[in-house]
Amino acid sequence: MRKKIVAGNWKMNTIVPEGVELAKAVVAKSAEVPAEVGLVVAAPFTHLAPVAAVVKGTRVALSAQNCADKEKGAYTGEVSVDMLKSVDCEYTILGHSERRQYYGETDAKLVEKTRLALAAGLKVILCVGENLDEREAGKHFQVVSDQTKAVLYNFSAEDMKNIVVAYEPVWAIGTGKTATAEQAEEIHACIRKVLAEKFGAQVADDTTILYGGSCKPSNAKELFAMPDIDGGLIGGAALKADDFIGIALSF
């Protein structure tokens, strides 16, 4: 059975003391959430060490939001996978649409980042998703299939045990416009089919696929009821512990 996960992507929000308080509140409320639901907080780089101290020994896992595409060396401003491991990160998000759009994250870079992350023992939450133009042109299945293949077809069935996919339609991120449960489900099913074609039905069936994009306590239940939606990658609503936990209670 694949794992259910609710992951909070804090993006570039909160200063360190606020992030520490948010993590403490998430830990405090985490007991309400059924044990089979994995809880993850993806904090900014500056917050990782102090937040790691808060979540250590709890059921809340720590994630980064990105990592370098190089192992180490003269890459000013970058943060390596070994650095993330050294502060007890369990996951890193990769390929978020904001990174693809604003920071030139290419599929080739994402392959390299994923390779380094897995080699360091990090799990990867790989984001895919079409923008509004692509959806309106009816290209959403194609775009998401292509993005999924471009990165994940470079990896093995064994690697897939440590990879989570997050479908995040760009037009739904931070816009208050959620994909309907049916719109999300048909893309999730498509991603699972793409994975099955390369890795076989079992691996596809075992892969956790999250939905992201204006997910909140009021719409999470409908989304999570879909057979191929295994949880959420939560932006805005993850900045309030009550909302984040409310989403995690929506299975």
**What residues are labeled active site?**
96, 168
Window 122 to 161, contacts with ligand PGA (CB under 6 A): none
* Matching residue, tokens 């956790």: 208
Binding track over 159-198 against ligand PGA, x by CB under 6 A:
---------x----xx------------------------
Burial class (CB in 10 A: 0-12, 13-18, 19+), 15: exposed
Q: How far apart are CA 197 and CA 189, in angstroms?
A: 12
Single-letter code of the amino acid located at 161: K
Residue placing its CB nearer to ligand PGA in the complex, 19 or 213: 213
Residue 127: what are its φ and ψ, rounded to 5°? -95, 140
Single-letter code of the amino acid located at 44: P
**What kind and span of H or E run contains 24?**
helix 16-29
Beta bridge partners of 128: 167
The distance of closest approach from Cβ of residue 210 to ligand PGA in the complex, given in angstroms and rounded to an integer, is 9
Return the structure tokens found at 98. 């904001």
Residue 213 binds to ligand PGA (criterion: CB under 6 A): yes
The distance of closest approach from Cβ of residue 228 to ligand PGA in the complex, given in angstroms and rounded to an integer, is 18
Residue 234 binds to ligand PGA (criterion: CB under 6 A): yes
Residue 243 · residue 217 · CB < 8 Å:
yes
Binding range to ligand PGA, per CB under 6 A, among 16-24, 48-56, 65-73, 232-240: 232-240
The distance of closest approach from Cβ of residue 18 to ligand PGA in the complex, given in angstroms and rounded to an integer, is 17
Residue 6 · residue 37 · CB < 8 Å:
yes
Residue 233 binds to ligand PGA (criterion: CB under 6 A): yes
Return the structure tokens found at 22. 């948010």
Q: How far apart are CA 97 and CA 55, in angstroms?
A: 27
Residue placing its CB nearer to ligand PGA in the complex, 197 or 242: 242
The distance of closest approach from Cβ of residue 236 to ligand PGA in the complex, given in angstroms and rounded to an integer, is 4
Binding range to ligand PGA, per CB under 6 A, among 43-51, 191-199, 213-221, 242-250: 213-221
Nearest residue to ligand PGA on Cβ basis: 235
Phi-psi region of 240 (alpha: psi -120 to 50; beta: other; left: phi over 0): beta
Residue placing its CB nearer to ligand PGA in the complex, 19 or 235: 235
Among 64, 89, 151, 215, binds ligand PGA (CB under 6 A): 215
Q: Where on the chain is the footprint of ligand PGA (CB under 6 A)? A: 9, 168, 173-174, 212-215, 233-237
